[in-house]
Chain A
C-alpha cells in the first residue's frame, strides 16, 4: 500500500511541473481565391488531388517543411489555423499558369488571391436532354498554346463532381488545337445514371472539363457544376439501332482521305463521340481504305447501313455521285455502288441509310464480302459551300 501511495504521489509531483507545451496556438487566418486575370472570376478546381497551395513558414527553422492547402471546387481556399509570420506561398500542380513563389505576411485575417490565367476557358455551357442522353454544348478557348488533349463531361451525385470524383464520365480524346468558335456537343448516356439512382427524379451534378496536353501535372479545367434533375419517366423509350458488324464507328480520322474537302472530327454524332465531317465546295471525294473486313453478310440478304449528314441538298441537284464499297482497295474494281435518286434519297440533316446489297450496281467484277477494304462517297458538282458528316458504318 505504501508503495502504491508513493508511486501516486511521485506521479502527481512530476506532472504538476508540466505545461501543455511551450508553443502558442495558431493565431492567424488566411483565405482567398485563384482568379482568372482576364475574366476576374475564380478558376474552377478539381476536388480530389487537384491543385495545391504550397507554403513554407520563414523563420529560424532548419529544413522547414512544405505545408499544403487545397482549393475548393469553386477556386477558393481558407486556413483558419495559421501562425502569424512570413511565408513563401505558391499555387501549383493545377489547371492554371503557375506563378513564382510569393512572399507574404500572414497576420490576423489575411486575404491573399492568386491572379493568373487558366490553361483553358470553357464557355457558353448549356445542357439539354436529347433522347436518353444528356448533351453538353460548349465552346473552348485555349489560353495555353498546346493542343487540347481531351474534352469531357462528368456526372455525380456530389456537387463537387470532377475527373477524380465522378460516377460517370464521357471523355473524348481530341488531341488538337481548338477553334474558339467551334461548338462541341458531348453526350452522356442517362442509363448508367439510372444504375446509380434507379428511382424517382434524382438530381445529378454535371461539369464539362477540358485537359491541356504537354504540361506536367496539368489538371482539367472545368465549367461550374450544374444540377440537372432527371425524370426517368419522361425519357423516350430506347430505340436500339441494329449494330451489326461495324466497319467504322467514325471515332478517328485514321485511314480517311478527301479530295477537295477538309476533314475533321465532329462531336455532332449518331454513335459514340464523333462523326467524320467534310467541308468544302465543288467535287467531294470522301473515302477510307481499311484492313480487309469480313462483313459477315451475303449479297442476297445483306445491308450496308450508315448515317450521312447533309447541310443542304439543293446544291447537289446535278452531277455524278455514288456511295461505293470494294474489296480491291480502290474504286471501280470489285465494287458495289448506290446512287442518289436511284437507290436512296437524301434529306437535309442526318440521314439513316440502309442500302441493300442486292440493289447495288456492280462494277469491275464481284466483291469479296469477306474482305471489304474500301469505302467512298463522292459527288462531282456541289454548287455551294457544303458540310457532310458520316458516322457508324456497318453491315447487317
Chain B
C-alpha cells in the first residue's frame, strides 16, 4: 500500500512540473512579499547596521573566540579543552595541553571561510552598486566598508597562504572556466591588500567612530600598518627558512628581499598618518606609580570602553550565549575563583614571559627571576640541595620591582585576585631537609599541618597539583582581560568583555619596528612612541630605539592579544624558538626549616619537547585536486 502511495505522490509532482514547464514565466517576476529589497533595507540606518553587523561578524578578527581550529568559536558546545592562541607560543602553556599546534599544519586554516566571506562581500558590493535610495555620502561609506572588509579578508588569507586567488567581484556560475581563478603571486597579493586598504581609507568616514566599533579611515590605516609590517617582515626574513618547489618557482610564496622596503614604507606612511592625526593617545599615559599603572592597564582590558582614546577598533560582545559570548573567564580564572565552572586554570603564563618583563632598576633589559645566590638562571634541573636559594618571608617579594604590566597580566603566587589569596605552591622542604615537590603530601610541624600544594583541599589552592587540569603548572595564573565582577557559571559563552582589535600602542610599535628595519621614517618619533608606552607602565628612563627593545616591548605590551603567533611567523622566528623546546615554570616551595619561601626554576611539569615544523610558515590549501591550484610547499 505504501508503495502505491509513493507512486501516487511522485506522479502528482511530475504532473505539476509538466504543467509548470509549459507556463508563461511572468509570475516569477512578482516581487516576493516576505523579502526586502536593497533599496528598502538601506534606506534606514538601522537597516544598514543590521546588514553590516552580519558581515562584521565574519571579519577574521582574532578575538577571544579565535582558536587554531576556528574563528568565532562560541557554539553551543564550545569545548576545545582551552586550546587558545594564549597557550600556543612561548608566552603561555595549557594546564593540560602542552603543544603549540592542535591540528598541525591545519591550524588557523581559513580557506573556505575566507572565500565564503569574500563571496558575501562581493554580493554586498553588487547591492550597493544598484542602490538608488541612499545619498552619495552613505554610498561612499558603504563602498569603504566593502574595501575594508576585503582588505582584512585578503590580509588574513595572505598571511596564511602567501599568494591567493583574488576574486573582487561576484562570479558567474555559468562561466565554468572563469570560476577557476589561479593564485596571484605573494607580492601581488600583498600589493592588493595595500591598495584595498588605501581605497577603504579614502571612502570610509574621515572621523573616528565615537564608539570605535565601525570601520573608519583610521581603522583602515591601522589594518594597513599591521598588514604592511607582516608583508615587509616576510620579504625580509623569508630566507631564514627558504622553501623550494613549484609554489616558490611561480612566486606564489616568498618575495624578493627588495619588496621589504616597499612594505615598510607603506607601514610607516599609515602609522604616521594615525600618529600625527592626534585622534588617538594612550589611556592614562602618566601614572603616578607602578601600582596605579598596573590598575590602569588591567582595567582597560576588562572594559575597553573606558579607554576609547587608545582604542582604534573594538569588537563588542554585548550579549551572552551561542554566537555572542566568549569563554575567556571560564578558562582563564584560577581554580580558587572558578565559581560553578568545573574547568578553570587552563591558561598558564610561562616563566619565559615573566623573565622578559623589565625591572625598574635595570631599564631596557629583560630581568630573569633570580632564585639562587649564585645568580644562575639557566638551570632548570629542579631542586638541588647543594645550591643556596634566596629565601623570602613573603613569596611575592621575589617579583618586587618588575614592570607594572606583569601584575595586570598574570597572577603571581600568593597575590590577591577578586579578594582571594591565590595559593600557588609546588612543594615543601621537610624539617629533615628532604624536598617534596609536585607530590601531594602533608606533614605536621610544631602542631601545625603543612601541605605541599599550600592547602588541605584542591578547592583551596590553584597550583601544581594535577587535579582536574585546573591548576597552573607554571606557577602563574592568567589575569589579562578577566572580569572582576563575573563569577564563572556552569555553561558556555557567558563572558561579554569587549575585544580591542586595534590599539594605539600596536601602531606605535609597528612604526618603531618599520623605522628600525628599513631605516626610513622618523627615528625620533619612533623612539618617542616606544618610550611613551613604557612611561604609561611607570618606567622613568627612556631606552634607545633598538630592535631588541622594540621587540621586547611589543611582546610585553601586546601579550595575549593574539599577536605573538603571527609575530613569530612573520619574522620567521618560530622554528628558531621551538625546536625540541620545553617551556619553563617557577615553582614556589615552602622551606619548613626556616618557614620561608624559595623558588625553583624548572621545566614545566608533565610536558614534553615541542617543535614548530617550518613548513607551517605557509598553511596547506584544501581541495587542490578539484581547484587545480598550486599547493604550498611540503603539502
Residues of A within 8 A of B (CB): 6, 48-49, 52, 62-63, 65-66, 92-93, 163-167, 169, 191-192, 195, 216-217
Contacts and interface: CB of A to CB of B under 8 A. Distances in A.
Contacts of A65: 624-625
Given A48-B611, A63-B625, A65-B625, A217 B243 contact: yes
A216 B631 contact: no
Interface string B227-247: 000000000000100111000
A63 B626 contact: yes
Contacts of B579: 163-164
What is the interface residue range for chain B against chain A?
A: 20 to 34
Given A167-B580, A216-B244, A217-B242, A66 B631 contact: yes
B621 to A, nearest CB: 12
14 contacts: A49-B614, A49-B615, A63-B624, A63-B625, A63-B626, A65-B624, A65-B625, A92-B244, A164-B579, A165-B580, A167-B609, A169-B580, A195-B382, A217-B242
A191 B380 CA distance: 12
Contacts of B580: 164-167, 169
B83 to A, nearest CB: 22
B1 to A, nearest CB: 9
Contacts of B628: 62-63
B276 interface: no
Nearest to B246: A66
Given A63-B628, A166-B580, 9 more contacts: A63-B625, A63-B626, A66-B631, A163-B579, A165-B580, A169-B580, A191-B381, A195-B381, A216-B239
B244 A217 contact: yes
A217 B238 CA distance: 12
A298 to B, nearest CB: 20
B359 to A, nearest CB: 19
Contact of B634 (A63, A93, A164, A192): A93
Contacts of A62: 628
Interface string B613-626: 11100000000111
B4 interface: no
Contacts of A6: 2
A10 B609 CA distance: 54
Interface string B365-402: 00000000000000001100000000000000000000
A169 B614 CA distance: 19
Contacts of B2: 6
Contacts of A192: 381
Closest 8 CB pairs of A and B: A216-B242, A195-B381, A63-B628, A216-B244, A63-B625, A49-B613, A217-B244, A65-B625
A251 to B, nearest CB: 16
A166 B248 CA distance: 30
Nearest to A192: B381
A164 B624 contact: no
A192 B380 CA distance: 9
A63 B615 CA distance: 22
Nearest to B380: A195
B300 to A, nearest CB: 40
A192 B379 CA distance: 10
Contacts of B381: 191-192, 195
A169 to B, nearest CB: 8
A216 B247 CA distance: 14
A177 B631 CA distance: 36
B243 A216 contact: yes
Of the candidates B244, B248, B624, the one having the most CB atoms from chain A within 10 angstroms of its own CB is B244
A36 B303 CA distance: 64
A166 B615 CA distance: 19
